[in-house]
Amino acid sequence: MNDALPLLQVVQLCHRYHRSEAPALQDISFDACRGEVVALTGPSGCGKSTLLSLIGLLDHPTSGHITLLGQNLSSIRQVPQFRARHIGFVFQFHHMVPTMTLQENIEAPMLALGTDRKTRQKQAAELLEQMGLAHRAAFLPAHVSGGERQRAAVARALANRPALILADEPTGNLDTRNGERVVDLLTQHAKLTGALVLIATHNPEISRTAHRCMALRDGQLISNTP
């Protein structure tokens, strides 16, 4: 793929959950490139999470199309494998598997790609070190702090070194210090690997530090500014 081309292209995207309801998204179009950190802003219910779910292949648009890495997402046949390889998710609620250690949680996405055990363990250990969590590797999620769980969730999202990171209110349940650390980790990943990071957020600090801010209101894109 030509790196000069947008990594992500969204074209006239519309989505309705029910025919009788107003569209959750209406005529959304934008491009985003490698290495960008893009903040998606707007009030609750404006369509931020819906947009991320469509880009992340968790749902299908009513009309329009999305192209990622040069592939129209509607043409993807092996969705779980494509998602595991190319897309990492970070949610407001970390969704860690409670019966698995932090190390095992971070290794889990690699299982979907058939990564061998030695490589999984090595990569997970490196990510835990980067997140400042090496000393918590063998702990269950319930036995670490909320900030540590969310940093582990970031590590899990990066496990397969995806080209796209989708983060939905990743700092919503964190204090200022831990929230800044999570955003710094995502920004550093974008800078070092050339990944695209899309962050849905109400946090004005994220909007100020992102390369670009896209504002949604009532399912429509109302601004797209550096």
Residue 4 pLDDT level (bands cut at 50, 70, 90)? low
Please name every residue paired with 90 in a beta bridge, in sequence order, or none if there are none.
167
Distance CA(221)–CA(5), nearest Å, equals 22
Which residues, other chains included, contact 95 with Cβ-Cβ below 8 Å and sequence gap of 6+?
A: 153
Render pLDDT for 172-181 as a digit per residue (tens, 0 to 9).
777 888 788 8
Scan for tokens 């400042």, then name that residue: 132
Residue 49 pLDDT level (bands cut at 50, 70, 90)? very high
The pair phi, psi for residue 136, each rounded to 5°, is -110, 10
Distance CA(48)–CA(184), nearest Å, equals 21
pTM for this prediction? 0.90
**Is 62 in contact with 15 (CB distance < 8 Å)?**
yes
User: Does residue 106 register a pLDDT over 90?
Assistant: yes
> Can you list the domains of the chain with their CATH numbers?
8-225 (3.40.50.300)
Res 98: pLDDT: 93
Render pLDDT for 156-204 as a digit per residue (tens, 0 to 9).
999 999 999 999 988 877 788 878 888 888 888 888 889 999 999 988 8
Res 3: pLDDT: 54
Render pLDDT for 63-99 as a digit per residue (tens, 0 to 9).
999 999 999 999 998 898 899 999 999 887 778 899 9
Residue 118 pLDDT level (bands cut at 50, 70, 90)? very high
